[in-house]
Structure 1
Amino acid sequence: MEVFLATFSALFPVINPLGATPVFLALTESLDRKSRNEQALKACLYMIGILAVFFFAGTFILNFFSLRIEDLRIAGGILILRSGLNLLNPDDAHKGNKRLSKEVQEEGLVKEDISFTPLAMPLLSGPGSIAVVIGMYNKAEGYRDFGYIIAAIIMMALASYLILRSSQRFTKFLGKGGMAALSRMMGFIVLSIGVSFIVNGILSLVEMNQAK
């Protein structure tokens, strides 16, 4: 259960489905409630598939490009730091946290099905969450841990679906001030995760050099 909780607690602030609600509502403003819920469900199912694929294939991808897990941790930490800084900026909190570029949002407004892109990727399963699951693969010890990590990904998708499904209620209840405050709280946690990734990556590299 420690592996399950560690994976879920690392993924939740990085994916930040609460912060994704303004973008989700903007992209689905022309849809009725049933269609909006269908898009949210499909996006979360795609998210499970994307994260599961990178979880199991991540090590092979790193080996193919001759990269080390420490390189991924440092690069992923930098990306997560950037996301955290965006969340801490109150101006970005009112603009969807710049999670999607203007061009991607405009494309999403005219697409009939936005569940895979831009909802599942990159809104929900972006570089930060992919870096987290690849990092968890290298920490796993045996098939039981693999099962707990996949279960945490599924639980994360379920939580994301419930939040996106209730996105209108959340935004009305919290208001702009509440969303901005929540964004800052998530931003601080995301920054901490990014720092942890970078520090662990650097320490691992130092230990490897000392061992040589």
Structure 2
Amino acid sequence: MLEMFISAFITFFVVIDPPGCAPIYASLTSGAVPAQRRSMAIRAIVISLFILLVFALFGEKLLAALGISLDAFRVAGGIMLFLIALEMVFEKRQTRREDRAEKIMETPEVEDVSVFPMALPMIAGPGSIATVMLLMARSNGIEETAIVLGAMAAVLLLTLLSLLAAGPLMRVLGAKIEAVITRLLGVLLAALATQFVVDGLKASFS
């Protein structure tokens, strides 16, 4: 059970990337007062939790309604996560997030960034949705389901803490250390994504 929690925790941590969300959130909320930043951070996490819970609990039924097998979703989700890993290794993911943040800041009428772009697509994006559905599909019984959801909640809690401490966190980490951590996590995510694809192909052709 502990190994399953660690595996799920690492997967969610790499995909959601709490340290990577911090600088984007800091730049998006630079003109807000501390109370507003706290409120938007909490709101973004609550919305993300709701979205991920919906896909965790009802994603399999949605796939069944669309006529998509879990094995096919494993392969597709693994490929999607692998592409995210490539972006992390080659420093494309952060650039894309920063470009999105700049577009938001160019529209002064947009003040609340909790829904877009923080909750969607930065936290509860395609990668994290695919991840929670893949992990839920691999879990058997209430205990394993609770472990996956617990790991997801723990990572979202860390994400909330990183958003609340975005300014000080960026001063401590610095751009170079953050880049190194992102690349290391990208390599790990690539291996996990490959395992998803292998599992899906094995089950499909067995």
Please indicate, yes or no, whether the TM-score normalized by the shorter chain is above 0.5.
yes
Mapped to 2, the partners of 1:204 and 1:99 lie a distance apart of 35
Question: Alpha carbons of 1:115 and 1:34: their partners in 2 closer, same or farther (altered >3 Å)?
Answer: same
Larger deviation, residues 141-150 vs 55-64: 141-150
* Counterpart residue type for residue 86 of structure 1: E
What is the Cα deviation at residue 124 of structure 1?
0.6
Q: 2:47 — aligned with what?
A: 46
Q: 1:7 — aligned with what?
A: 8
Q: Secondary structure at the match of 1:29?
A: coil
Mapped to 2, the partners of 1:46 and 1:181 lie a distance apart of 30
Mapped to 1, the partners of 2:142 and 2:174 lie a distance apart of 44
What is the aligned-residue RMSD (CA, Å)? 1.9
Mapped to 2, the partners of 1:118 and 1:31 lie a distance apart of 16
Mapped to 2, the partners of 1:186 and 1:40 lie a distance apart of 24
Q: 1:20 — aligned with what?
A: 21
Mapped to 1, the partners of 2:163 and 2:120 lie a distance apart of 15
**Per-residue deviation, residues 38-97 of structure 1 (Å, max 9, x unmatched):** 21111111111111100011111101111011111111112111111111124x36xx34
* Counterpart residue type for residue 26 of structure 2: L
Q: 1:159 — aligned with what?
A: 158
1:1-212 maps to which residues of 2 (within 5 A)? 1-2=1-2, 3-90=4-91, 92=92, 96-99=94-97, 102=100, 105-107=102-104, 110=108, 111-207=110-206
Question: Alpha carbons of 1:70 and 1:99: their partners in 2 closer, same or farther (altered >3 Å)?
Answer: farther
* Counterpart residue type for residue 34 of structure 2: R
Q: Secondary structure at the match of 2:200?
A: helix
- Equivalences, count: 203
TM-score by length of 2: 0.89
Question: Alpha carbons of 1:100 and 1:50: their partners in 2 closer, same or farther (altered >3 Å)?
Answer: farther
Aligned residues: percent identity?
26
What is the Cα deviation at residue 179 of structure 1?
1.6
Mapped to 2, the partners of 1:105 and 1:197 lie a distance apart of 34
Mapped to 1, the partners of 2:12 and 2:183 lie a distance apart of 17
TM-score by length of 1: 0.87
Any unmatched runs of 5+ in structure 1? 208-212
Q: Is the 8 A contact 1:19 1:97 kept in 2?
A: no
What is the Cα deviation at residue 119 of structure 1?
0.5
What is the Cα deviation at residue 23 of structure 1?
1.6
Q: Is the 8 A contact 2:77 2:134 kept in 1?
A: no
Mapped to 2, the partners of 1:171 and 1:62 lie a distance apart of 40
What is the Cα deviation at residue 159 of structure 1?
0.8
